[in-house]
A and B are shown apart, each in its own frame.
Chain A
Amino acid sequence: MSAVLELERLNVRFPLTSGVLHAVRDVSFRVEPREILAIVGESGCGKSMTALAIMNLLHRRAERRVEALRFRGEDIARLPQRKFNRLRGDRMAMIFQEPMTSLNPVYTIGDQLEEVFLRHRAATREDARRRARSLLEKVGIPAPDQRMRQYPHQLSGGLRQRVMIAMALMCEPDLIIADEPTTALDVTIQAQVLALLKRLQAEFEMAMILITHDLGVVARMADRVLVMYAGEIVESGPTRRIFDSPSHPYTQGLLRCLPQLSAADDADARLGTIAGVVPSLVGEVRGCAFANRCPHVVDACRADRVAVAAAAAEHSYRCLIPPERTLANFRETAR
């Protein structure tokens, strides 16, 4: 079966007075039907920027370069705005990080839901209303008729994010991009919203790109993972494999930071951190961007851009050091 989305060599740059900021560098990946692909990394690593670039929602000062962006086999990278708008909100939809500000404060919930349906379907107001009501029910909002008449400021953050999810699902898209959908929510609400997303993804048979900085979320939700660091993908592979044998020192570092469930009762359960800071992305980045924080760094790391290597089928990483060497060290420190 062909991929829902194929992205080839995406680059996003911001011209600044101090130089060019390379926010996303040569990112390529594909999303298969009905899979959840997680993109994980620290804030500023370019994961949200990648999502916005796919949806063509970047800030106007950003420059997007992409070799190919195929949606269900059709190249949409150079589609005119008008045609692209027919796809956006209909076949591909997005859920944002900030439910408090992502809804328009001056229109009712109902109006903002119906609007998407009316835009993309030859439907009457009544059809749209019925559709909105049924989706509000699906996302677990009680008394949907009453909620539809309310304004965003009358709803809690959790409810607003459920509304955003309902809005994204109005036209049953093939692909849904969720950009840190639970970061702004209370911890107790987070788990509910994630479970809801997973259930709806299966029910609607959608593909999903889930952007998060939380490996716990990845473990529970994703089929495959992309790890991003300093604007590029440093490792990608099936979730199980990445957790079992992370092959890039950065991924290993991230996993070391994750509190182990098995070791939770253990008083010495160490919560590691990765020492050092992310290098500036202004100007050309030379060599491996992780070199200044990497425990395994060698001189060659700082010379040229590191090529992608394959660890197994479907599992690749961007590191000069063979994973056998780094993994041994990882397994030792993580236990």
Chain B
Amino acid sequence: MLTFTIKRLFSALLTLLLISIFTFSLAHLAGDPAIAIAGREASAEDIARIRAHYGFDRPLVQQYLAWCGQALVGDFGRSYHYQQAVSEMLATRLPITLILGISALGFALAISLPLGIVAAIRPNSLIDRISLGLAVVGQAMPTFWFALVMIVVFGLTLRWLPISGNASWQNFVMPTIALGYFATPALMRLTRAGMIDALESDFVRTARAKGLSQTSILFKHALRNVMIPVVSVSAVQCGAMLSGSIVVEQIFALQGIGWLGYDATVRSDLPVVQAITLVIAAFYVLLTLLADLLNAVLDPRIRIG
């Protein structure tokens, strides 16, 4: 278990290192950051002064190492546009995106697990067909279009829910659904297929031969085995949600890091874009790491080699 954890941690750190090089290079391909800060009309002296001030005149490798060193202690530099520490901006925005991500994953699991299980218990039943239909429709629905349609129906026409901002929990309802439904088809199909396999497995037959109750067979014996791939895929889907949060937060003006990322990209505010890319990647890496550790707890074959 210990070597497993250390190996996993090592590869996680390596991934982050590669991504940090990638984002750093991207930011510096964007052209001279001094011009971006000073504006296109600035004089040559001003630009030279800014260049020296920010250290843009040093070799790239040196700049990268300095940036990394600061990022490690949580210092991502200052926003060109807002003249504020990027870490402070992230700290205020991050909770909103985390709430959105967690509730979207919760929403996706709350729909896909029960439907997948019921569909597997009764294949080809009405519920199975309905959930299959939902999955097919869900997979084809563009997230941003679905979000806009919800705004028209529930926000503008029925006036049930607020359409922008992050003042109350009601602001999170539509963004959660918009972000969460996209992960639902994949999770539901996985649950259904896993459950069908589990219910036809030899160990479930043993459990039935032991006279165990239906509840124990389903939830103790079958479900735990089904959950192992579901946990892995949930982590990947949650990562995709963090990425998709840019679209959803922008549409609902939910001011999390996705919204900030969009805003910063539009303004070419590169320190902010760089930091957000790295933070989202770090969260993804953390999520897959957690999923692997959770699976090691669920599955003794991983834990005890």
Q: Which residues of A contact B220 (CB under 8 A)?
A: 107
**Which one of A97-105, A229-237, A259-267 is at the interface?**
A97-105
Decide if A89 touches B225 in the complex (CB within 8 Å): no
Q: Which residues of B contact A98 (CB under 8 A)?
A: 202
Tell me whether A88 and B203 are in contact in the complex, defined as CB-CB below 8 angstroms, given that A104-B221, A106-B224, A106-B299 are known contacts.
Answer: no
Chain A residues bordering chain B, tally (CB within 8 A): 31
Asked if B142 is an interface residue, CB under 8 A from chain A, the answer is no
Tell me whether A104 and B210 are in contact in the complex, defined as CB-CB below 8 angstroms, given that A151-B301, A153-B300, A153-B301 are known contacts.
Answer: no
User: What 1/0 mask marks residues of chain A from 79 to 117 whose CB sits below 8 Å from any chain B CB?
Assistant: 001000111111001101010011111111000000110
- Please measure, in the bound complex, the distance between the C-alpha atom of A105 and the C-alpha atom of B224, giving whole angstroms: 10
Asked if B212 is an interface residue, CB under 8 A from chain A, the answer is yes
Main secondary structure of the interface of B (DSSP, over half): helix
| Closest B residue to A82 using CB positions | B213
- Please measure, in the bound complex, the distance between the C-alpha atom of A98 and the C-alpha atom of B299, giving whole angstroms: 21
Decide if A102 touches B202 in the complex (CB within 8 Å): yes
B222 vs chain A, min Cβ distance (A):
9
- Please measure, in the bound complex, the distance between the C-alpha atom of A245 and the C-alpha atom of B301, giving whole angstroms: 52
Tell me whether A94 and B209 are in contact in the complex, defined as CB-CB below 8 angstroms, given that A101-B201, A104-B203 are known contacts.
Answer: yes
- Among A85, A86, A154, residue most surrounded by chain B Cβ atoms (within 10 Å): A85
Tell me whether A104 and B300 are in contact in the complex, defined as CB-CB below 8 angstroms, given that A96-B205, A119-B210, A120-B211 are known contacts.
Answer: no
Decide if B208 touches A57 in the complex (CB within 8 Å): yes
Within 8 A of A (CB), among B213-262: 213-214, 216, 220-221, 224-225
Decide if B211 touches A119 in the complex (CB within 8 Å): yes
| Closest B residue to A116 using CB positions | B210
Tell me whether A106 and B298 are in contact in the complex, defined as CB-CB below 8 angstroms, given that A57-B205, A96-B202 are known contacts.
Answer: yes
B16 vs chain A, min Cβ distance (A):
31
Asked if B304 is an interface residue, CB under 8 A from chain A, the answer is yes
Q: Which residues of A contact B41 (CB under 8 A)?
A: none
Decide if A151 touches B203 in the complex (CB within 8 Å): no
Contact of B203 among A103, A108, A115, A119 (CB under 8 A): A103
Contact of A89 among B201, B211, B298, B301 (CB under 8 A): B211
A189 vs chain B, min Cβ distance (A):
19
A161 vs chain B, min Cβ distance (A):
12
Asked if B37 is an interface residue, CB under 8 A from chain A, the answer is no
User: What 1/0 mask marks residues of chain B from 265 to 305 whose CB sits below 8 Å from any chain A CB?
Assistant: 00000000000000000000000000000000011110010
- Please measure, in the bound complex, the distance between the C-alpha atom of A101 and the C-alpha atom of B208, giving whole angstroms: 14
Q: Which residues of B contact A221 (CB under 8 A)?
A: none
Asked if B207 is an interface residue, CB under 8 A from chain A, the answer is yes
Decide if B203 touches A105 in the complex (CB within 8 Å): yes
- Please measure, in the bound complex, the distance between the C-alpha atom of A37 and the C-alpha atom of B34, giving whole angstroms: 91
- Please measure, in the bound complex, the distance between the C-alpha atom of A96 and the C-alpha atom of B202, giving whole angstroms: 9
Q: Which residues of B contact A88 (CB under 8 A)?
A: 208-211
Decide if A101 touches B203 in the complex (CB within 8 Å): yes
Asked if B206 is an interface residue, CB under 8 A from chain A, the answer is yes
User: What 1/0 mask marks residues of chain A from 53 to 97 whose CB sits below 8 Å from any chain B CB?
Assistant: 001010100000000000000000000010001111110011010
Tell me whether A102 and B206 are in contact in the complex, defined as CB-CB below 8 angstroms, given that A151-B304, A153-B301 are known contacts.
Answer: yes
Q: Which residues of B contact A55 (CB under 8 A)?
A: 209
- Please measure, in the bound complex, the distance between the C-alpha atom of A105 and the C-alpha atom of B300, giving whole angstroms: 7
Asked if B200 is an interface residue, CB under 8 A from chain A, the answer is yes
Asked if A288 is an interface residue, CB under 8 A from chain B, the answer is no
Decide if A102 touches B212 in the complex (CB within 8 Å): no
Decide if B211 touches A87 in the complex (CB within 8 Å): yes
Chain A positions within 8 Å of B, measured between CB atoms, are 55, 57, 59, 81, 85-90, 93-94, 96, 98, 101-108, 115-116, 119-120, 151, 153-154, 164, 167
Chain B positions within 8 Å of A, measured between CB atoms, are 200-203, 205-214, 216, 220-221, 224-225, 298-301, 304
Q: List 29 A-B contacts (CB under 8 A).
A: A55-B209, A57-B205, A57-B209, A59-B200, A85-B213, A88-B208, A88-B210, A89-B209, A89-B212, A90-B211, A96-B202, A96-B205, A96-B206, A102-B202, A102-B205, A103-B206, A104-B203, A104-B221, A104-B225, A105-B300, A106-B224, A106-B225, A108-B300, A115-B210, A116-B212, A151-B300, A151-B301, A153-B300, A167-B210
**Extra A-B contacts (5), CB below 8 Å, given A85-B213, A115-B216:** A88-B210, A89-B211, A105-B299, A106-B298, A120-B211
